[in-house]
Amino acid sequence: PLKSSLALSRGSGSATFARASTATYINSAGNVASAAIDAPRFEANGLLMEGQRTNICLQSETLDNAAWVAANITVGANDAAAPDGATTAELLTASLANGTLIQDLGIIASAAKIFTIYLKRKTGTGNIDLTLDNGVGWTTKSITTSWAKYSITQTLANPDCGIRIVTNGDAVWAWGAQVEDSASFATSYIPTVAASVTRVRDSLTYPLAGNFNSNAFTIVAICAGLQDDNVPNSIVELYKTSSSGA
């Protein structure tokens, strides 16, 4: 159960899944795909369940937009196939050493933040660095010739996220920039354009009637969960929907 469908292997009734927004996931082909409102997302490990998160990084796929400030970097729009299969990956090429591309995310209270972005190397072997503090500090990432999602975390106020290509002439493809506030781990990609976007939490419920003894029962849950340090999460919730407890 929950590997590829919501069907019960035993018992009666059917599951109810809800999410009041679209969401992305990694499909069976290994690509980033979009799920409609109230559509469950099944990945290689089964049903993906996530809490509510917001991507505060604007123009997540259009890195040639004015929201991103380039210094000694050229941005080639829609240059290659992105992780979702569409030709929307941006080519970043250093025109001088230490070329940067940075977005000012505005006035935001101090909290843990995580910056993620998909990167793929085109040419060169020099360092590729990420920042969340406008380049006060840089974190070097080992970028390969295959798409991968890279991340850095930092606790700070007023973040500015970005990338630095250290060696003149080096180039990488970039796509899917995301910054999540009050977060200690990354979640699925949330596309943005001119404003931040929120992905609403997933909810999965099963009926008690016909599946549980309302007087005494045991629940065993096998799952992989991550605890956000700032937002309480729950794996299983039990509650009554009628006076009988069913």
Mean pLDDT across the chain? 90
pLDDT tens-digit series, residues 218-246: 766 666 655 444 444 555 555 555 544 43
Q: Compute the average pLDDT of residues 203-211.
A: 83
Work out the end-to-end distance of the chain between its first and last CA atoms, rounded to an integer number of angstroms.
22
| Sequence-ordered list of residues with C-beta below 8 angstroms from that of 124, at least 6 positions apart, any chain | 165, 167, 169, 170, 171
Q: Compute the average pLDDT of residues 170-174.
A: 98
Burial zone of 14 (CB within 10 Å; 0-12 exposed, 13-18 middle, 19+ buried):
exposed
- Assess whether pLDDT exceeds 70 at residue 184: yes
Q: Compute the average pLDDT of residues 178-196.
A: 97
Residue that the structure tokens 């796509």 belong to: 175
At residue 174 the predicted structure's pLDDT band, cuts being 50, 70 and 90, is very high
pLDDT value at residue 232: 46
- Assess whether pLDDT exceeds 70 at residue 210: yes
Q: Do 101 and 86 meet the contact criterion of CB atoms below 8 Å apart?
A: no
More confident residue, 220 or 113: 113
pLDDT tens-digit series, residues 27-80: 999 999 999 999 999 999 999 999 999 999 999 999 999 999 999 999 999 999
Q: Which of 95, 101, 23 is nearest to 59 (CA)?
A: 101
Residue 49's Cα: distance from chain center in Å? 13
Q: Which of 77, 2, 53 is nearest to 189 (CA)?
A: 53
Q: Percentage of residues in the chain with pLDDT exceeding 90?
A: 76
Q: Percentage of residues in the chain with pLDDT exceeding 70?
A: 86
pLDDT value at residue 239: 59
pLDDT tens-digit series, residues 124-158: 999 999 999 999 999 999 999 999 999 999 999 99
Which stretch of 11-20, 25-34, 169-178 has the lowest confidence by average pLDDT? 11-20
